[in-house]
A and B are shown apart, each in its own frame.
Chain A
Amino acid sequence: MTSSKLASDAASAADQTIAIKKVLIANRGEIAVRILRGLKDLGIRGAVVYSDADRQSLPVLLADEAYGIGPAPSRDSYLRGDAIIQLAREIGADAIHPGYGFLAENAHFAQACQDAGVIFIGPSPEAIAVLGSKVESRRLMMDAGVPVVPGGRDPLPDLEAAQRAATEIGYPIMLKAAAGGGGKGMREVSSPEDLASAFRAARSEALASFGDDAVYVEKFIVDPRHIEIQILGDHQGNIVSLGERECSLQRRHQKVVEEAPSPVVDSDLRRRLGEAAVQAARAVGYTNAGTVEFLLDKSGDFYFLEVNTRLQVEHPITELVTGIDLVAAQLAIAEGKPLGQECFGVEPRGHAFELRLYAEDPYKGFAPSPGRIQRLRWPEGPGIRTDAGVYEGSEVSIYYDPMLAKLIIYGANRKQALARMGRALQELRIEGIRTTTPLYIALLEDDDFCQGRLDIGMLDRKLAAGELRPSDEGRQEDLALIAASIAHLQETERQAANPLPSGSHRSGWRQSARLASLRSTRWS
């Protein structure tokens, strides 16, 4: 597929403008809620699909229409593309919004929507297919003059070839298995004298892991930042950058905290990143919302990573610093309208953070913590936005992504945003399950985080070193002991008044739920 063919596809759609009246959301959780809210703001009917496990979920409660799509496992429900398209036709939905994950970056699904006459809210199937391939997208970006991590994908026949390639690129370099993935067959080489032994080792490791000893050489970027650019493209051929998001705080390549703007991107670098992202998008005739990801090294050089052809989890921080509703923009583009004036020449205003709240215990190896949310209080007040997929009483199931909600914080500057983050985390209460909240409280006590000294390995390094445990400051141990004693006294009095059947072992939370119901407070 050539870029000119893709561009002409986009242009041919330019004269079609239609009003979308109903959208089927092929997703769940917080993003389904976010899209529903966007639709309501536009006066568009929102329908959702739900699996058996999600019948009582928040999106179903907020939707105008809700349709069961199958059993809990995703492959039997949220991944049933054909059934979802069939449903969209039956209920008269003009468009399908895929959210992120599930079917969002599935070119076949986007094509099937198009074939069925249902608008897929996202880029063209061709763009999704090309950008979904690491090899093809890298080649395309090189052709378009977008900087990529230096190095060749061609296997090195011998040590001499490796030496030539490494000298050309400049040390440090990385040797990678051509058939590889997951870190196997990868060797970092910092100087020429280490190359020979590393080359031998990488080859034998590649052979052992993948049955193929082919390795190639790539520039090793030391402690880079993850910087990504939000783009929008319309069917008239306009493509704009809405500025960057810094997503360097990652745990095992999973984003945890994001912010906009980046503490290190100035307006000149922002302009250059934006131009590169727009170039990348133009190479495939990109339409709708997308994100171009880059690695940024310490010297300020940046390298193309990949394009995410969908609405990103962390899109709200861009919304807060630009004032642009990205879901509304997606709908307008899907209707065939040109980008509004507010999308051009955007400069960030203020500072925003996003904290992803996962149902995981950060101090038990991030073990999943499903269960019933017994108590929930979201933070409120100036600068706080909560995008949640759960409510008090929700059951967090074991079937899906453990992200419960996103806490999004805005301030006039980074300092104010950090202060508000601290206040929000203090107000936040989620009980009944463990979440990653304590980790974020600890981050606020971390100097590197507070000063914006970030790189993509930082969080893993600190966690491995046993750092990022919240301090004991502000602990009120006396008060806790007294509270427990009063509870013990009340429990004893209740048992004396109304002896309970003494069963075998009882689960702690069930026990406390029972006690809560005895107190006949909220759920009785």
Chain B
Amino acid sequence: MELVVTHGERQETLQLRQTAYGYEVELGERRYAVDAKEVEGGQHSLILRPLEANGESSQAVAQQAQVSVHSLGGGQFEVVDDSPLPYRCQVADPLTHLAQESRGGSGSSGRRQVTAYMPGRVVTLLVSEGDQVEEGQGILVLEAMKMENEIPAESSGVVSRLLVECGQAVDNGDPLFEVE
């Protein structure tokens, strides 16, 4: 299976093939034999052994990590390992990826939807649909844990849609507004 994977600035083609022991992976220039086993609490232990270009096992050191993978929908995954911050990865098959590219989907241009990163209640709307806003400008105020938090625009543009109303309760991940 061929996939296009994105993490931050990095985008690569990834070949994933099931084998007797797990998977064989080509990630850009690199090749790995991957052993993935389910462990406590639905997590996976992944052991990555680097392979030479000819498929022979290499002398390089193996990596092991116990990871949780959370699906955020739309091919987005959050991977948690021992390092301090999670990895936000986008995975798509090549056709879907092409479609996303032409829509400007995951790129920096186009429409950007902002979702609530915590449950709470919308207490104030600071702008109206159609307003021109700057990156970092407050769009609405969300109250949670007795604190009011201004939710800013992640990019400059026009507020194309406000998806919540004043007083509305929102859950973690609910869409709040779109900036185009």
The chain A residues found within 8 Å of chain B, CB to CB, are 359, 361, 363-365, 367-371, 374-375, 377, 392, 398-400, 402, 426, 429, 431, 434, 437-438, 441-442, 470, 474-489, 491, 505-512, 515-516, 519, 521-522
A519:B42 contact, CB within 8 angstroms: yes
Is there contact, CB below 8 Å, between A488 and B117? no
Interface status of B174 (Cβ within 8 A of chain A): yes
Q: How far is the CA of A437 from the CA of B83 in the complex (A)?
A: 10
Report whether B172 and A398 are in contact in the complex, using a CB–CB cutoff of 8 Å. no
Which of B73, B81, B173 is A480 in contact with, Cβ under 8 Å? B81
Also in contact, A398 and B120, with CB within 8 A (given A484-B69, A508-B71): yes
Point out the residues of chain B lying under 8 angstroms from A506, CB to CB. 73, 173
Q: With A368-B144, A482-B14 known to touch, is A511 a contact of B68 (CB < 8 Å)?
A: no
A483 touches B46 (CB 8 A): yes
Query: Contacts A370-B118, A429-B80, A488-B75 given: A507-B36 contact, CB under 8 Å?
Result: no
Given contacts A375-B68, A431-B68, A484-B77, contact A402 B145 (CB under 8 A): yes
Q: Chain B nearest CB: distance from A78 CB in Å?
A: 14
Residues of B in contact with A, size category: 35 or more
Judge if B171 is at the interface, Cβ distance under 8 Å.
Answer: yes
B contacts, CB < 8 Å to A: 1, 3, 5, 7, 10, 12, 14, 16, 23, 25, 27, 30, 32, 34, 36, 38, 40-44, 46, 48, 63, 65, 67-73, 75-85, 87, 89, 91, 115, 117-120, 144-147, 149, 171-175
In the assembled complex, the CB of A487 is this many whole angstroms from the nearest CB of chain B, namely 4
Expressed in whole angstroms, the Cα–Cα distance for A400 and B144 within the complex equals 10
A489–B145 touching, CB < 8 Å: no
A399-B16 contact given A431-B80, A511-B72, A511-B73, CB 8 Å threshold: no
Take A480-B89, A485-B5, A521-B41 as given contacts and tell me if A512 and B71 are in contact as well, using a CB distance cutoff of 8 Å: yes
Contacts A402-B145, A508-B173: A487 and B77 contacting too (C-beta < 8 A)? yes
User: In whole Å, how far is B105's beta carbon from the nearest beta carbon of chain A?
Assistant: 15
B16, B48, B78: the one contacting A479 at CB < 8 Å is: B48
A508→B73 contact, CB < 8 A: yes
Are B174 and A507 closer than 8 Å at their CB atoms? yes
Q: Which of A363, A400, A437, A477 has the most CB of B within 10 A?
A: A477
Instruction: Collect the chain A residues with CB atoms within 8 Å of residue B30's CB.
Output: 478
What are 6 A-to-B residue pairs whose CB atoms are below 8 Å? Answer: A374-B70, A483-B44, A484-B69, A486-B16, A488-B91, A512-B72
Q: Which residues on A sit within 8 Å (CB–CB) of B85?
A: 363, 438, 470
* Known A-B contacts A480-B81, A482-B48; A361 and B117 likewise in contact (beta carbons under 8 Å): yes
Are A476 and B173 also in contact (CB < 8 A) when A402-B145, A482-B46 are?
A: no
B5 to chain A, nearest CB (A): 5
Complex Cα–Cα for A429 and B85 (A): 11
Q: Which residue of B lies closest to A359 (CB)?
A: B145
Q: Is the CB of A487 within 8 A of B14?
A: no
A509 to chain B, nearest CB (A): 6
Contact in complex: A431, B70 (CB < 8 Å): yes
